[in-house]
Structure 1
Amino acid sequence: MDETSNLAIADKLLLTPFFSLQAFFILAKIDPTYHFLSASSFLLLAIAKRYIFSSPSSALYLVDFSCLKPPNFCRVPFSTYIEHAQMLDFLDKESVDFMAKVLTHSGQGEQTYLPPCIHIIPPKSSHREAINEVHMALFPVFEDLLSKTKISPTEIDVLIVNCSGFCPAPSLSSIIVNKYSMRDDVKSFNISGMGCSASALAIDMAHNILKTHKNSNAVILSTEILSTGWYPGKQQTMLVLNCIFRMGAAAILVTNKKEAKKTAKYKLLHTLRTQRAFDDKGYYSAFREEDSDGFTGVTLRRDLLQVAGETLRSNITILGTKILPYTEMILYAISITKKKYFDKSSEIYVPNFKRAVQHFCLPASGKPVIREIGKGLKLGERDMEPAMMTLHRFGNQSSSSLWYELGYMEAKDRVKKGDKVWQLGMGSGPKCNSLVWECLRPICGEAQNGVWADCIDSYPVVLGRVDK
């Protein structure tokens, strides 16, 4: 059993009786002395638990990351997109009007990118074009990461590539190994079908792999290949993804080398993966299938936002026990007890996660999704700003969006030493993956070096109203 499992079991053994006892004391108006005694005992047990079950050798450091800025000839302003859509024989006026509405209210700006084959009329969706997009997306961002971190491909011990919709043979990870003549013993992995949560999942996967491979480097390459994902039909529930997904990629270097603590940007504090694939409503809320004409696309059902809320709730409930101050957990437990046994009309207390985390990277799936998650976590406009501005400047880039958001925060000089960053990835399945990082050093000068270099001064911008 690993460290995470041990800690989770210890959390349950400690928290359940403690919360129950505290709720009883408060509701029964028992002498406050008992609160102090039980709280002191709990604190001592919590400290002992961390000391017993934690292992310093499992530390994972984020050395640096890079995000892709596609070439300008891939830009797709709204007018160009709609003009091209009107020239497609299979789309009627109703379909084009629907796509225009989705674009207008999506939260995207006029400078997002699509791969070259989607600019062709009609879009050229083929295996060769998809491979060309792989080269265009992954090679530059990987090379930029190598340049930033001053390591060579032969120094990489673990390689993980994630892409949901395109799974060629040889795999995407094999393409990278071949291109850069990596070592014959590099441990390479390819993750597909995991949706927008895949890069967070890949970090968790790298963390677990490196627990048994000491003094090692791991690189995660995260992208979504759109060339084979274009839906050539006119069913509206499938046309949405044509409108909102955009080109992007990220490369991340993590390591468990002890000396990296002095130079790395972040240290991983917590990871958590939850899913609701056991529930049919959640399982079919975003589903790849054929339409009535035999064209393959991803159907987004109307209850997607509700499913996202349920998926998020189960994740943050568990994560809260790991990161929230004990006072927040006590208030939450008391509100549940009160609602269940004393006052059915009372509201359950929503913990204040901003007491534990200073920065939030949220799923950049669209304005409604960002707003709903922000509302559920009691976040302000500034907290949601990185996700909103990433959506505006680069669109929904699936799993790599989280890194554009972190890049935005760094470019704005907002992340300070000691700050905590929560990256929240949500994908089809449905699944929810959380990463909590601690900033290890001052981060300066990223406004001139990163993917936001040419536009950070013009952000934030004011976005229009939210349409669900």
Structure 2
Amino acid sequence: MEDPSLYFPLPTIKTLLQTFYSSFLFCFLRVFPLCLALLFETLVLVHKWSFLGHLLFVSAVVLYTTLVYHFSRPAPVYLVDFACYKPPSHLQVPLHSFMEHSSRFGCFEKESVEFMGRVIKLSGQGERTSLPPALHYIPPRTGHLDSVEEAHMILFSVMEDLLAKTRVNPSEIDVLVVNCSGFCPSPSLSSMVMHRFKLRDNVKTFSLGGMGCGAGVIAVDVAQTLLKLCSGAQAVVLSTEIMSTGWYSGKERKKLMLNCLFRMGGSAALLQSGPQAARVAKYQLRHMVRTHMGASDRGYFSAMREEDSEGITGVSLERDLMQVAGEILRMNIGALGSRVLPLSEKFWYSFSLFHKRFLDPKTEIYVPNFKLVIHHFCIPPSGKALLRELGKGLRLKKVDLEPALMTLHRFGNQSSSSLWYELAYMEAKGRVKRGDRVWQLGTGSGPKCNSAIWECISPVNPLAKVGSDPAGPWFDCIDEYPIAMDDF
């Protein structure tokens, strides 16, 4: 008979105490000792006992408060390591190849092909971004089977790299979260991964769909919520976007944008809870802030998958999308700033709001300096124009935006997994030091904006092996970057 501990991790003493603490019985026991202590103190005062009685009372209250605080705290969550998918070189699509293939597909007018070419040039993408095999055919193959094969290619590969890098056995995984916005097959993507790697039958699996570029941070939030409930548990978060099913072959320009902006990619991250994880982890999750504007009609309809007049499905990006993105970014950044910024920055920001509202409406609102508490920034690489405006709004320098710009140039915008490519860039450059804080900012349709703050807790080796790739996705080109962008 097999050892059940291989499938059901044995709980620690602290986990058992935490479970007991949250039970109904302990809800009563939390109050009873305090009542007993107060009764004892009353007896001390009435009978005028010695100072020793008062000391015993104070000691009991202090000890009880300490124990309650210690066992009621959620388990800390750590990022052990992560891996990024590196597409093979034969899948790269230089601009001239993209233009030539698009003109031969037979579904695009000449004006549409020229429009897509201009968008790609202005976006900041380089000549080595990649598209999946199905989109290299003429005409492109966008069927269900092609999308499944693309999902297998990305998710299985990046999962293998993560397991090889962390030396974790698939049977040790307790939670699996997979996010992909546009492709939601049945069986689900999480079931595909579970079947391929033979995960335990009691693993908690989730497949997140339709959440856009911000789903990567949302997946981390789902995983960390579960990990906090069980110290020592491990979770894998897989993020990708399947391009085969998202390709648009119509004529509406607001739907053609996705053909230009998004490229092939994927990431995998291993999270673990409990203090024992701190010995092997790279980062600790310090803050998580999520903001949603789905109740607003303007925000809800700003990015939506729908059919055009000819019945061809695509994602429409409306003209007011930038304004909606700006509003939800301000909401999310304001909520995050209230948690992480020092009192001086909060004071000047509040004072500027008061001055603008009651004294001088023409006065500009003070922009807090997030660089006082955050050292590195992972920002959605949605194009040079958006990065330029976001940098101005957060008072960031070009070096702070460099990871996003270089990720956009080398790999394009890989939707929810892009933030991990940017973190991999910083690590490959040797910029992340112990004690540094990294801000991952993800935005997506809905609309929603999500922020995760990670603190580096161990030295990061830029030459650490990731499976068969000695240094992750930047191994063969990190010395070429950063490149000059004179028009930025």
Q: TM-score normalised to the size of structure 2?
A: 0.83
User: Structure 1 377/131 Cα, relative in aligned 2: closer, same or farther at 3 Å?
Assistant: same
- Select the residue among 106, 112, 116 that pairs with 1:99: 116
Tell me the amino acid that sits aligned with residue 363 of structure 2: S
1:56, distance to aligned residue in structure 2 (A): 4.9
What is the aligned partner in structure 2 of residue 356 from structure 1? Answer: 373
Counterparts of 2:397 and 2:71 in 1: how far apart (Å)?
34
What is the aligned partner in structure 1 of residue 225 from structure 2? Answer: 208
Within the alignment, does 1:61 sit opposite 2:78 as a pair?
yes
What is the aligned partner in structure 2 of residue 459 from structure 1? Answer: 481
Tell me the amino acid that sits aligned with residue 332 of structure 1: Y
- Select the residue among 59, 76, 99 that pairs with 1:82: 99
Tell me the amino acid that sits aligned with residue 146 of structure 1: L
Within the alignment, does 1:376 sit opposite 2:393 as a pair?
yes
What is the aligned partner in structure 1 of residue 58 from structure 2? Answer: none
**8 Å Cα contact 2:103-2:113 kept in structure 1:** yes
**8 Å Cα contact 1:357-1:422 kept in structure 2:** yes
What is the aligned partner in structure 1 of residue 279 from structure 2? Answer: 262
Counterparts of 1:52 and 1:308 in 2: how far apart (Å)?
39
Residue deviations 1:350-375, cap 9 Å, x none? 10000110000001111112112111
Counterparts of 2:320 and 2:222 in 1: how far apart (Å)?
30
Aligned to 2:432, what secondary structure does the other structure show? coil
Tell me the amino acid that sits aligned with residue 414 of structure 2: Q
1:89, distance to aligned residue in structure 2 (A): 1.6
Counterparts of 1:106 and 1:99 in 2: how far apart (Å)?
10
**8 Å Cα contact 1:70-1:113 kept in structure 2:** yes
User: Structure 1 243/54 Cα, relative in aligned 2: closer, same or farther at 3 Å?
Assistant: farther
Tell me the amino acid that sits aligned with residue 345 of structure 1: K
Counterparts of 1:53 and 1:322 in 2: how far apart (Å)?
22
Tell me the amino acid that sits aligned with residue 266 of structure 1: Y
Tell me the amino acid that sits aligned with residue 117 of structure 1: A
**8 Å Cα contact 2:105-2:140 kept in structure 1:** no
1:183, distance to aligned residue in structure 2 (A): 0.4
Tell me the amino acid that sits aligned with residue 61 of structure 1: Y
What is the aligned partner in structure 1 of residue 259 from structure 2? Answer: 242
What is the aligned partner in structure 1 of residue 136 from structure 2? Answer: 119
User: Structure 1 55/451 Cα, relative in aligned 2: closer, same or farther at 3 Å?
Assistant: farther
- Select the residue among 416, 419, 422 that pairs with 1:402: 419
1:273, distance to aligned residue in structure 2 (A): 0.5
Aligned to 2:198, what secondary structure does the other structure show? coil
Tell me the amino acid that sits aligned with residue 323 of structure 1: V
1:338, distance to aligned residue in structure 2 (A): 1.3
Counterparts of 1:375 and 1:55 in 2: how far apart (Å)?
41
1:464, distance to aligned residue in structure 2 (A): 5.3
Residue deviations 1:16-68, cap 9 Å, x none? xxxxxxxxxxxxxxxxxxxxxxxxxxxxxxxx9xx979965421000000000
Runs of 4+ aligned structure 1 residues displaced above 3 Å come to 51-57
- Select the residue among 211, 224, 227 that pairs with 2:244: 227
1:340, distance to aligned residue in structure 2 (A): 1.5
**8 Å Cα contact 1:411-1:452 kept in structure 2:** yes
**8 Å Cα contact 1:107-1:464 kept in structure 2:** no
Tell me the amino acid that sits aligned with residue 465 of structure 1: D
**8 Å Cα contact 2:75-2:274 kept in structure 1:** no
Counterparts of 2:462 and 2:145 in 1: how far apart (Å)?
39
Residue deviations 1:297-335, cap 9 Å, x none? 011111111111101000011100100011000111111
Counterparts of 1:351 and 1:259 in 2: how far apart (Å)?
36
Matches within 5 A, 1:44-443: 56-443=73-460
Tell me the amino acid that sits aligned with residue 254 of structure 1: L
Paired residues in the alignment total 417
Counterparts of 2:396 and 2:72 in 1: how far apart (Å)?
33
Counterparts of 2:71 and 2:108 in 1: how far apart (Å)?
58
1:344, distance to aligned residue in structure 2 (A): 2.0
Residue deviations 1:151-173, cap 9 Å, x none? 11000000000000000000000
Counterparts of 2:79 and 2:146 in 1: how far apart (Å)?
33
User: Structure 1 282/249 Cα, relative in aligned 2: closer, same or farther at 3 Å?
Assistant: same
Q: TM-score normalised to the size of structure 1?
A: 0.87
1:450, distance to aligned residue in structure 2 (A): 1.4
Aligned to 1:228, what secondary structure does the other structure show? helix
Tell me the amino acid that sits aligned with residue 92 of structure 1: E
**8 Å Cα contact 2:75-2:275 kept in structure 1:** no
**Which segments of 5 or more consecutive residues in structure 2 lack a partner in the other structure?**
1-64, 465-469
What is the aligned partner in structure 1 of residue 39 from structure 2? Answer: none
**Which segments of 5 or more consecutive residues in structure 1 lack a partner in the other structure?**
1-47
**8 Å Cα contact 1:105-1:464 kept in structure 2:** no
Counterparts of 1:233 and 1:358 in 2: how far apart (Å)?
43
1:214, distance to aligned residue in structure 2 (A): 2.5
CA RMSD of aligned residues (A): 1.6
Larger Rg: 2
1:347, distance to aligned residue in structure 2 (A): 1.4
Counterparts of 1:361 and 1:244 in 2: how far apart (Å)?
18
What is the aligned partner in structure 2 of residue 44 from structure 1? Answer: none
Counterparts of 1:446 and 1:97 in 2: how far apart (Å)?
41
What is the aligned partner in structure 2 of residue 33 from structure 1? Answer: none
Counterparts of 1:225 and 1:58 in 2: how far apart (Å)?
34
1:445, distance to aligned residue in structure 2 (A): 2.7
1:222, distance to aligned residue in structure 2 (A): 0.4
1:213, distance to aligned residue in structure 2 (A): 2.4
What is the aligned partner in structure 2 of residue 3 from structure 1? Answer: none
1:345, distance to aligned residue in structure 2 (A): 2.0
Counterparts of 1:188 and 1:264 in 2: how far apart (Å)?
23
Aligned to 2:149, what secondary structure does the other structure show? helix
**8 Å Cα contact 2:232-2:277 kept in structure 1:** no
1:446, distance to aligned residue in structure 2 (A): 3.5
Counterparts of 1:400 and 1:86 in 2: how far apart (Å)?
30
